[in-house]
């Protein structure tokens, strides 16, 4: 991970692997290719993420299962592991969320300095009760967030996350194709890095420990970029 011009640049090889795995997972259940305009949307977001020339992420405020508005700024002083998915996801979401939970447990006491956040891409089906139970199954400190379709679309787009509903042939239900990254944000809410789907917990723990050591909580409280962490 290199920083250039004030922005973090992701090594091309690592990101290429992340893109390939994420797209494979996202479109695994499909029997036909996505429409050209949706392929273009996915490619645009991937290119923006890969380029290192545009901001990734930004301040946001969504709603927790208790109906409270929760902003990224509320987690100031902690690292954030941010994941976008949905509760009825058949494979990649539960795998990655379990990895996040395991990494936090493996960190021991240091895990208290890392806040896991799950943002649903399926607010229609992920009701407050569903979100509360689903997120807690992976780690008791998971913050599960939802919002309107427009709010979620804006936050996902800020983080260069592609997603769309996919109807299942002959059924009334649907899946959601989505890119599946775990985003690491620093103590001021700024994008640092991402973990591809299926990253081993031990690899996640190694990078988290490096980031925890690089910016102690006390220093972050005084030196963070307030604009990066303020809700909009």
Enumerate the domain spans of the chain. 9-212
Question: What are residue 131's phi and psi, to 5 degrees?
Answer: -60, -45
Predicted pLDDT at 104: 98
CA–CA dist 80, 89 (Å, integer): 22
Among 39-53, 129-143, 169-183, the range with the most confident prediction by mean pLDDT is 129-143
Q: Give the pLDDT score at 11.
A: 44
Q: Are 199 and 99 in contact (CB under 8 A)?
A: yes
CA 66 and chain centroid, separation: 21
pLDDT tens track for 197-219: 999 999 999 999 999 998 776 55
Q: Which residue has the higher pLDDT, 159 or 225?
A: 159
What whole-number distance in Å separates Cα of residue 199 and Cα of residue 95? 10
Query: How confident is the model over 118-142, as a mean pLDDT?
Result: 97
pLDDT confidence band for 30 (50 / 70 / 90): very low
Average pLDDT score over residue span 189-200? 94
Residue 226: pLDDT over 60: no
pLDDT digits (tens, 9 = 90+) for 38-49: 666 666 666 666
DSSP string, the chain: -EEETTEEE--HHHHHHHHHHHHHHHTTT-SSPPPHHHHHHHHHHHHHHHHSSS------EEE-TTS-EEEGGGGTTSEEEEEEE-TT--SHHHHHHHHHHHHHHHTGGGGGGEEEEEEES-TTT--HHHHHHHHHTT-TTPEEEB--HHHHHHHHHHTT--EEEEEPTTSS-EEEEE---EEEE-TTS-EEEEE-TT--HHHHHHHHHHHHHHS-HHHHHHHS-HHHHS--
Q: How confident is the model at residue 17 (pLDDT cuts 50, 70, 90)?
A: very low
pLDDT tens-digit readout, 62-104: 999 999 999 999 999 999 999 999 999 999 999 999 999 999 9
The pLDDT of residue 168 is 85
Please state, for a pLDDT cut of 90, what percent of the chain lies above it.
Answer: 64
Is 70 exceeded by the pLDDT of residue 176? yes
| From the candidate CATH numbers 3.40.1440.60, 3.90.226.10, 3.40.50.2300, 3.40.30.10, the one assigned to the domain spanning 9-212 | 3.40.30.10
Is residue 54 predicted with pLDDT exceeding 60?
A: yes
């Amino acid at each position: 991970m290199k920083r250039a011009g004030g922005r973090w640049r992701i090594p091309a090889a690592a990101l290429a692997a992340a893109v390939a795995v994420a797209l494979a997972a996202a479109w695994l259940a499909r029997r036909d290719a996505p429409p050209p305009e949706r392929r273009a949307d996915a490619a645009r977001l991937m290119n923006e993420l890969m380029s290192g020339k545009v901001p990734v992420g930004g301040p946001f405020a969504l709603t927790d299962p208790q109906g409270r508005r929760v902003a990224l700024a509320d987690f100031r002083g902690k690292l954030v592991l941010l994941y976008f998915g949905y509760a009825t996801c058949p494979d990649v979401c539960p795998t990655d969320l379990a990895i996040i939970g395991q990494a936090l447990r493996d960190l021991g006491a240091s895990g208290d300095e890392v806040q896991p956040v799950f943002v649903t891409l399926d607010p229609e089906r992920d009701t407050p009760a569903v979100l509360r139970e689903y997120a807690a199954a992976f780690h008791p400190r998971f913050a599960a967030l939802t919002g309107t379709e427009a709010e979620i679309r804006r936050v996902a787009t800020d983080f260069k996350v592609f997603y769309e509903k996919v109807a299942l042939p002959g059924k009334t239900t649907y899946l959601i194709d989505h890119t599946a990254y775990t985003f690491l944000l620093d103590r001021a809410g700024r994008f640092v890095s991402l973990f591809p789907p299926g990253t081993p917990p031990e690899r996640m723990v190694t990078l988290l420990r490096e980031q925890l050591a690089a910016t102690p909580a006390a220093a972050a409280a005084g030196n963070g970029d307030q604009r990066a962490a303020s809700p909009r």
